[in-house]
Amino acid sequence: MRKHVLLVDGMALLFRAYYSTAMMNNFMINSQGLPTNAIHGFTRHLLTAIDTFNPTHVISCWDMGSHTFRNDLFPDYKANRSAPPENLVPQFDRVKEMTSAMDIPNVGIPGYEADDCIGTLASHYQDEADVTILTGDQDILQLLDDHVRVALLKKGYGNYDTYEAPRFIEEKGITPKQMIELKAMMGDTSDHYPGVRGIGEKTALKLLIQHGSLDAILNNLDTLTKAQRTKFEADLDMVHLSRQLAEIRCDAGVSCDLNEALYQPEREKVIAKFNEFEFKRLGERI
């Protein structure tokens, strides 16, 4: 039987879980004074996805600090992000205790984002396994491949917008890898890099479909409208830099032996961690 690996964007799940409850001032402080709302929501998301996709192996990927190689390339990368909320900070390390209790490896490497870890592992595994990536970040759609699909979290638990490469190509008119060049042109307000100022998604997509690649566009600027050519010429350095920022690296230097990621949690160990965090109703899910 072919293996099926679930790669979890731990940061995406944790932040989503935190904000979905924090908006209602539900911080779930346990008897030790530890806020646990994000850990609890993360665990619910994780267990629900495992029930839904039935993977044979599970790995959770994490950011390891806020500074990455992208900040070295562009100091303003993600500069618009505020510091994490005070009640979330103590949950960053404790949530990994939960995944460890479930015998799910935690993977991360300083200087890279969780996305880069996911990209690297997906590229390693896809020859021998089907890979499902669980995230809320559409940037990861660039990793879609023959044996790699993406499940985007939607509102609530158990609701996913699941993409495989053919669906992406049909909807967008470009390949998943071309999403890197699309973002290089249109920029990313969330990650705080501009791309080509004045070129939005609609124009960038049209040009990419018409010319086939960003390099082809740049080599044929004289075929663009005067306004478009002026915008590209003003931001030539930035569009090349934005391409580097947009690309999820698949050579981040992380690895995880799939034998260590086999999903066979020991119920007693998981229940003990649930009890420690005072999660009374999750035990029946294991």
> What pLDDT sits at residue 280?
82
> What pLDDT sits at residue 136?
94
> What pLDDT sits at residue 11?
94
Euclidean distance between CA atoms 131 and 242, whole angstroms:
27
One digit per residue, the tens of pLDDT, for the chain of length 286 reads: 899 999 999 999 999 999 988 777 777 888 888 889 999 999 999 999 999 999 999 999 999 988 899 999 999 898 888 888 888 989 999 999 999 999 999 999 999 999 999 999 999 999 999 999 999 999 999 999 999 999 999 988 899 999 999 999 999 999 999 999 999 999 999 899 999 999 999 999 999 999 999 999 999 999 999 999 999 999 999 999 999 999 999 999 999 999 999 999 999 999 999 999 999 877 666 7
Residue 165, Ramachandran bin (φ over 0: left; ψ between -120 and 50: alpha; else beta) = alpha
> What pLDDT sits at residue 38?
94
| Domains contained in the chain, CATH given | 3-170+248-280 (3.40.50.1010), 171-246 (1.10.150.20)
> What pLDDT sits at residue 39?
95
> What pLDDT sits at residue 28?
83
> In 10 A of CB 184, how many CB atoms?
26
pTM: 0.95
> What pLDDT sits at residue 1?
84
